[in-house]
Every structure is written in C-alpha cells, then in structure tokens.
A and B are shown apart, each in its own frame.
Chain A
Amino acid sequence: MDNNNLILGLQDKAKSFRRDIIEMLYKSQSGHPGGSLSAVDILTALYFHKMHVDPKKPDLPGRDRFVMSKGHATPGLYTVLAGKGFFPREELWHFRQINSLLQGHADINIPGVEASTGSLGMGLSFGNGLAMAKKIDKLHHKIIVLMGDGEQQEGQVWEAAMTASHHKLDIIAIIDKNGIQNDWFVNETKIVDPLPDKWRAFGWHVEEGDGHDMHSIVSTLDKLWGMQGPRIAIFHTVKGKGVSFMENNPEFHGRAPNQEEYRKAMEELK
C-alpha cells in the first residue's frame, strides 16, 4: 500500500470509529467522549498500521502489547478493537450495561485489552513490568502505553519514567495531550508542561506530533518503532475532536450526548 492510500484508509477508519464512539455513548447514556475522540486517530494508526496483534488469537505469545493507561477513554479503545475484530461490533451497543462485556473502564477480561485500568497513573508501570518480562525472555515485541496529559499529574507516572530509564526498558509511551482534564483545562488546574523537557530530563527520547494529522501520527510512530529503549510521542490533540460542540469543551470529558446532541454529532461525522 503506498503512503497516500495508507493515510486515506486510516482516516476513513478513524471517521467510522468516531461515529461508533458517539453511537455507543448515546446508547449507554454514560461514558467519556472527549478523551476518546482525542485519542481515536492515534489508536487507529496503532492497531491498523503498527501493531502486530491477531484478533483471532488475543493471547498470541509474540504479540505487541498496548496498555490504555487513560482507562476511562474506553469508547475510543473499544470501537477500534471491535473494528479490528476482537469482538463483535454489536457489543459496543451494550457498553456500560449490566451483564455486558464492555465495562466502563478498560478490563483485562475483554479480548484485546491487556490491562484493567481506569485509575490514572498506573499504565506505564504495568508496561514496565511487561518490558522487564520481555527483557528476561529476550523477546522483541513492542510495548505501548497511552496516557493522558492530565494523567501526568499522577506521581506514579514519574516513578515509572525513572524505572524505565534506569533499567533501560524497551517501551513506547504516548501522551494524548488534549489539554483538558475532568474538571477543567490542565493549564488552569495544575500545569504539566513543559512535557518534552520533563520526559527528556527523565532519560526518555521524545518525539512530538499532531495527533489528528494521520501523516504526522504515522511518521512519528514509524520513527519510534525503529528505535530501542524508553521513548515517548507527545501528540498534540483536541479534546472532543470531530464534533464541533465537544471540541475543547471540558463539559464533554465525561458526559454522553443527549438526543439533540447525538443527531448533531452524527450529522457532522457523516
């Protein structure tokens, strides 16, 4: 596939996943649209361009491991996993309902989900453990951990950053830097910047990119894939990307669209 076709294909997929995100949130009337829409382009590129996984064999020994540390943004993850074929797309419409497969926050019992998360700050440490096991067994699969920028306020993130660089672990971290956390804007809550300088100071190789420009995402991930050791991509994103009234709006961190908002969003995502 030439590069342009690859990019167009990924863009198309991401758009359909955005529709699924809105659909599942509307049906469940519960969940987190903002951080799902900001991360979905990155997730699409990971699962449909970079990662070696087999939806028919979710426990394939040599598979790449993806850890969703921002474990509340499950609509983004679940739509992509369903698109990849880990479970039927129909499951999306039962998200957060009793007796359903798709738990509100990421759960290891769901095919394709590598770690139960939902409490911020834990994913990178989990990835470190995966990387240590990989080191002991001299394996070469990739370990990728996606965090939020608000999540950088968790002290454990920095414990993990030190552990990875001290033990020279082979791990890829990604930050979905959408600038908004639960209550309000990150910059007005507790400043996490300058993130590139901080991560460099902690011994990581840092790349930056535009988390909604598929060219930028693909080239950044390609670059990190060719490297070793602890490395991180900080993707600049927009919370709620793709739905005008959700974009950059703290209200849609954790609220599902009502009927009118749903209609409007689906119209915009045609």
Chain B
Amino acid sequence: MEKIATRDGFGKGLLELGKKNPNVVSIEADLGKSTKSILFAKQFPDRNFNVGISEADMMLVSCGLAASGKLPFASTFAIFTERAFEQIRNAVCRMNLNVKIIGSHAGLITGEDGSSAQCIEDIAVFRTLPHMVVISPADAVQAEKAVEAMAGHHGPVYMRLTREKVPVLYNDNHKFIIGRGDVLREGKDVTIIAHGPQVYESLEAADELAKEGINARIINMSTIKPLDENLVLRAAQETGAIVTAEDHSIIGGLGGAVAECLVSSYPTPLERVGLHDTFGESGKPMDLYKKYGLTSGDIAQAARKAIKRKK
C-alpha cells in the first residue's frame, strides 16, 4: 500500500491553490521545510513571509493579511499553534477572519522527538473557539483536497497534519467537503469513527472483527467541527454501539465531540480510543501506538467492549 504523509499532501495542495488564486499568502515560522509550505515559498517568494520563530506574531500577521483581502495560510507544528492559542482566540476567531492555520507533526505518530512535539490536545482546544472549523485528514489526498475546501470556506480553519507517512486511502477523484463524514465500510454491529492515522487502523480493526463475525461500520470523520451529527446519530441508531479512535487525548477530541452529540440526542454505548490523560514519549511511531493503545487491535477490543454494553 502506498504511503504518503499528510503534510506532503498539504504542501502540494497549497502550491496548486497558489497557482490558481493570487490572493493566497503563506506565512511560515521557520518550519516550512517540515510543514512543506516550502513548495509554495519557492514558487511564490513574493507571497511568502517567514516571520521566524514567532508564532504569536505569525497569527496576527495572518489576521492583518486577511483583513486586507488576502488568503493567508499560517503553517507550523501543531504544538506551536497552541503557543498562540490566545492570539487565535482573540484575533483570528474573534474577528472571524479568513485565516487558515496548519498544525503539522500532530499526535504520538510524530515519534522520536517525544512528548514536547507530540501535540495531543489541539483538536480539543481549537474546537471550543467560535467560528473555528477543525479538520484532520486521513491521508495525503484528503489533505491536498482539503486545502481547496479551506479556501472555499470563509472564516478560520485549523487543519491538523502528521509527519509520518500513512497509507493512501483515496484517489484523485475524492472531493473533500467540510462538515461531512465519509462511510468507508458499511456495518450493522458497531460503528468506528476515526480521524487521521486511526482511520486506516480502524479499517484494519474491521478486518479483524469480521473474522469473528462482527460487521463494523467505519466512518472517516475528517471534519471534527462542525461534526457531521446526522451521520453519527444514524450510526448510533443503526448499529447501537460507537467507538471513536484518534491520535489525540480522549478528552475533548473526536471522542469528546461524539460523546456530546450522543448524550444530547441519542445516548448510546461509546468507547473512546485515544490518549488517556497522559503525555507520550520518544519512540518509533508504531511502538508508541502499541504502548499507548492506539493500534487496530486496541480499536477492535474497544469495539467488542462497546457491543457488550448494548442493552
């Protein structure tokens, strides 16, 4: 199976968008080589500004550009977007400006750099902000297509990316629609809802469950906010048990969002796969996934547990 990092998909998408739309501006904070915004920077040096290692400055610079009619993409590591959380809250979102924020190197999958870089709470914090849209693509194709979708949405968007290569699940015909989840596999016994690298892990889990006669529905929820509530509620009604899976804290991420949705409208047994109120550590991505319970096996186990809880 071909593997490409979502950051590579973003880099390609930004470059393509830049060719079509002269208003696109890239703002970097010394991590263009890592986030892949460098592809845009090389092609359009006059529309690229590197503000150095200054994330707070970066967010307000983006606001000034957006207020002038530009379409700024501010990209850095996910963890450093959080450094500018209050700037994002008080400027980007309070003014509802057309600023696109890219947080790369998110999750335990970042690996060897360890806990300082492994951002595991970005979705939770950005999800709370009025006007903010939160996206986490499952593969490089989605990341590339999401860039165009972000440009078509007026207002702040946060897109979470990963450093490590992940299996390519979509082909070039894929259309990324903000706010819409995607059923990748039908099933009637349980629904596994995932984003990012855990979408592939969930598909693997479904294969494992199928051997036991369990039909798991798999949903790629690449927009966490606004959540595709209709799809979640339909899954709850039709399968009666839900699992969420993500390389993120179980507090406030997709698991939190789905829990909020279910408890308000259709209480259903829910198991959340993710980080259990803990930081990560250095290590190889798959070793970390095993140690912290984020593999296909952990997701399958959570599905069995959720099914048992059905009344």
Contacts and interface: CB of A to CB of B under 8 A. Distances in A.
Given A118-B90, A163-B51, A129 B56 contact: no
Contacts of A115: 63-64, 67, 91, 95
A130 B56 CA distance: 16
A157 to B, nearest CB: 9
Main SS class of interface, A: helix
B64 A136 contact: no
Contacts of A12: none
B51 A159 contact: yes
B61 A116 contact: no
B131 to A, nearest CB: 12
A6 interface: no
Given A108-B95, A115-B67, A122-B90, A129 B62 contact: yes
A129 B67 contact: yes
B68 A130 contact: yes
A132 B66 CA distance: 11
Given A129-B67, A133-B70, A163 B56 contact: no
A133 B52 contact: no
Contacts of A211: none
**A interface bracket (residues with beta carbon within 8 Å of B):** 20 to 34
A163 B52 contact: yes
Contact of A116 (B49, B58, B95): B95
B64 A159 contact: no
Given A133-B64, A136-B25, A159-B57, A126 B70 contact: no
A57 interface: no
A162 B52 CA distance: 9
Nearest to A119: B90
Nearest to B70: A133
Contacts of B60: 122-123, 125-126, 128-129, 156, 160
B95 A129 contact: no
A41 interface: no
Given A119-B86, A136-B25, A136-B47, A126 B64 contact: yes
B64 A132 contact: yes
B210 to A, nearest CB: 52
B94 interface: yes
Contact of B68 (A134, A156, A163): A134
Given A159-B57, A163-B52, A125 B64 contact: yes
A128 B67 CA distance: 12
Given A125-B60, A127-B64, A163-B57, 14 more contacts: A115-B91, A115-B95, A123-B60, A126-B64, A128-B60, A129-B64, A129-B68, A130-B64, A130-B68, A134-B68, A159-B52, A159-B57, A163-B54, A163-B61
Interface of B: 25, 46-47, 49, 51-52, 54, 56-70, 72, 86-87, 90-91, 94-95
Top 5 closest pairs, chain A to chain B, by CB: A129-B64, A125-B60, A133-B68, A159-B54, A159-B57
